[in-house]
Amino acid sequence: MAATASEINPERSVLAYRDYRLYLSALFLGTLAIQVQSVAVSWQIYDLTHNPLALGYVGLFQFLPMVACTLPAGHAADRLDRRLILVVCYCLEALAAGIFLVLALSGQQGVWPFYAVLAMFGTARAFAGPAASSFVPLLVPLEHFPKAVAWNSSTFQTGVIIGPALGGAIYLLGPSVAYGVCMVLLLAVAAVIAAVKQRSRAHPPEADMTGLERLTAGISYVRSKPIILGAISLDLFAVLLGGATALLPVYARDILHVGPTGLGVLRSAPAVGAAVLGVVLGRTPLRRNAGPIMFVCVALFGVATIVFGMSQSFTLSIAALIVLGASDMVSVYVRATLIQLATPDAMRGRVSAVNRLFIGASNELGEFESGVTASWFGTVPAVVIGGIGTLLVVGIWSWRFFELRKVDRLEDAHHS
């Protein structure tokens, strides 16, 4: 346990726990490193190729390892010390940044070595994800876990806001400088995680299962729990249909006419909304009606998507994106809390892996869906149709997953 019964105080700040503070620091530094590296890799590959398709491969070569490693990564998180997995993964990510540094210094002109390193980086992130998600519940008492989820999301979004701007500024000094900074940051993250005292218990294999059944147990568990399946699939289809952010460059150039600077503001707006609301939830977590609030906020996400899609005002568009990010933050907060509390520790790694695969699929496929529908119907109709689709999903899911709609206190989902 992260704290003894005598140490648990419902009014105590979640930041009072040393191990959690270390984890939060590592999350922020790691997010900065990933954002800086993303800017550097994208700029360098585009400089080498001048081909937008080459940029599409940047995401693809990181996404494919996640798909391939989802089940093994979840299984490892339940069988090994999650803290050790995180340390090893961040060291591998630092190694990847170091290889990028070597490629930049050597004047490498081909892009395939960069893609190979991105695949290595994506593999490390695939194993780190389930380990990190299932490690957090061990760092704070149950009473404080919802606050921890909010602080995690707010910290991540803050890194997303700061990271790209920082990466762009550092890249002016050269790609090698950017990669060097990333390597140092990722090594620092590994050191911070290593300083965490809490260990996760290595759970023995289930004796009544075959090896394949153990590997796929996370999928089976999610399917057997309507609350978890409903929360994960609601997010998948809502983001899949409401992926307006993928079309922001079109809005910035052709609809709002605000140029690259305006595009940067538009990209930051959802993260600002999410970060601010994350801080609010970290200080004042949801006490009651968690399920209904989640459905209302996903519906608000759809409405904000429709407003953004129809807006021709830069100010209104920013406001809509801020609301979109804030409403999505509530959905993330409720979903992440429910999944971890409704799952026994011996299954958290595998269930977290399934959840992260759904999230990755919704983001990647959501961008693809937005591009396809925009090419069919036009940009504005595509975004508006996506927002309407999100509202339809909310209606169907509220009827189909009534157990999720009935959730009152998040703590009630805790497994017995």
Q: What is the pLDDT of residue 2?
A: 47
Q: What is the pLDDT of residue 30?
A: 96
| Alpha-carbon 166 to chain mean position | 20
Side-chain half-sphere of 128: how many Cα atoms within 13 Å?
23
Q: What is the mean pLDDT of residues 391-401?
A: 92
Is residue 6's pLDDT more than 60?
no
Q: What DSSP assignment string belongs to 3-56?
A: S-GGG--TTS-GGG-HHHHHHHHHHHHHHHHHHHHHHHHHHHHHHHH--HHHHH
> Which phi and psi (to 5°) does residue 50 adopt?
55, 35
pLDDT tens column, 132-143? 988 998 898 878
Q: What is the pLDDT of residue 5?
A: 37
pLDDT tens column, 272-290? 898 888 888 877 777 788 8
Where would I find the H helices in 136-207? 145-171, 175-194
Distance (Å, whole) CA 62 – CA 79: 25
Distance (Å, whole) CA 76 – CA 95: 21
pLDDT tens column, 226-246? 888 888 888 778 777 766 776
Is residue 1's pLDDT more than 50?
no
Proportion of the chain in helix, strand, coil states, percent, rounded to 5: 85, 0, 15
Is residue 99's pLDDT more than 90?
yes
